[in-house]
Structure 1
């Protein structure tokens, strides 16, 4: 944040403007723009202003975020108006400004999402919004569920075609797509491409939003919204926390919005991936020493809609010192590596959780000792599957998993 006094927050006004331009904003917004000595915004927004807005016009530099503090400080003694598309506080510049300056005055305009819901007759509270502005298209995959309604904030004219391709690839080709362009403006139009076709249209308007009514193709794998995705959802070489154990593990890890997980011994990445699918703001780092497995983890993360999963290739605990502090740690492999368990415990803040799974007696002994030292919960998880036995059916027992789960408190910060 800029030092106090460098940019008086009362002097920064953020004005939302839509495709309808000057005619579509209220008089209070017009007055703010007329009185501004400096007008900041994208070229498209600045071009919507009439000549009566006489302030100095400055287009955003690229990249914007690193330059923002200096740009605002340079004009700290002047009245600044910042132009934003639609509602500045909804995936707009308003967030960055409040983080740099503090409180600012915001004069919003209806967002493109509000316009889209009005045109489609969709209740806004029932719609999931996914932005692909400056983000990979693959992140949309985490939101695909039968019957869901999604509004995608497009990066440019190519985004609808990229969305259609992803829908086909992830088994949602039958979904209904509509592309709404220049919402609220004189050039507003809606097109309805078919996601099932090889749709490569890029001649549309770059100012667009994509509406999706999700329909899963017959036979496509069903991926639910809770932990415990089918094992078939992952590419793996056998190093996979199986579905029922995975669901139980995520249950005790208890992901919450914004939290960071360390997934040690990533294997196929399933724990980290489903941690991130729990909420869009959940973050994870997975540590895997095998480069082939590390590459496979990245592929699985991309396929399942969490392409921002950070994969670190290297041995633990050696690579842990360079990682940001976690809210939770999962150890799925490498428990016998000298110092690993203690390094993970030391990295946890008070309130952090640690969960470790193992199937070997050697690692189980380590978990039993940790349970003695730090408390928590030590459980044995066993799963059996019904399989044919001649002309009958019997149970086949999977290897039992020993799980230690503990939350760090002031009283567990050291050996008891």
Structure 2
């Protein structure tokens, strides 16, 4: 399973303490051949097994020994924090954008700027629009390399849409289409829940920001990272008002909705529309839904197509002993390695475009409408030039979550006015930035 945030609190605490990271197993700075490169992931056993197989091929062809350090998925944060504290961090490790920003601010991560476009390995132009920029530090250093990318959209029950006289969602559908569809679905089934927000992104400040920009308004924050300004113009407020109205009408679930059984509800046909990430396919498909279903990307607005950008990545300690060997290994991983691993276990597309071929090939080989729609939606989202970030990435992000809970969510639920909720959210985050 592919998650976004793992160990930000632990990593930030270590970073603030200023502890050094030392690659634990790289050989000297001479030839790559004979070098040893260690890495650690948070992936499932299935994905790790696929990575082991492809890394074995790389080791044989390159002469670089690659070792994966064990890290149980549930204990990744504790494991990595322990390695950092003992100065035995691997040569590269899975991390989120927010985590990389925190560690980079303390000078603890290796700068890959000189490696990109060096003629050996990855090229900056090879990444999906917007993805690499999230991994740059405030002074322009490239302190992480994006890998597995999340795409977000709407799982739909095609049979229910057809019976309601609606066209199924697809690339290019609009925000107006979304609200029209959930209203008609609710009218057709007054006791049902037409749109389950399985992942909180849709009605978050980021989701409202996407609505605003796509419809000619301003974004909520002036920069994906290193934010200095927060704003909420009339178009942004209009987007929040639409969320609140849909929730009040029972057309969309509220922020406190327990989505534990959402995938099961969708799979058994009781929910016609569910918002979530592409990785949910790996939970829905095994349930063998009896209905025809598919996946559609984020809606477009009257002024353009704005799609989410979210990619986890890999980071290296600033003191790795053989950067060339590490870079060669990461470059292999982001291209051939992920192509092979995702072909056997399609978790997510890769931010480096050439590395997504295996993921798409797996979905195309499946051949069913659902798999094909997921692949098409992922390509569409990643290729979009205008993007919005799916979470706050600055050091104040954790505290901002509390503001969303106490100010933003009550406005969506009708417990306070939209203007008041948006206003207090803006002022609260402005206060965090000022601190």
- TM-score w.r.t. the length of structure 2 is 0.31
Largest Rg, 1 or 2:
1
Higher helix fraction: Structure 1 or Structure 2?
2
Larger relative contact order (Cα-Cα within 8 Å, sequence gap ≥ 6): 2
Report the TM-score when normalising by structure 1: 0.32
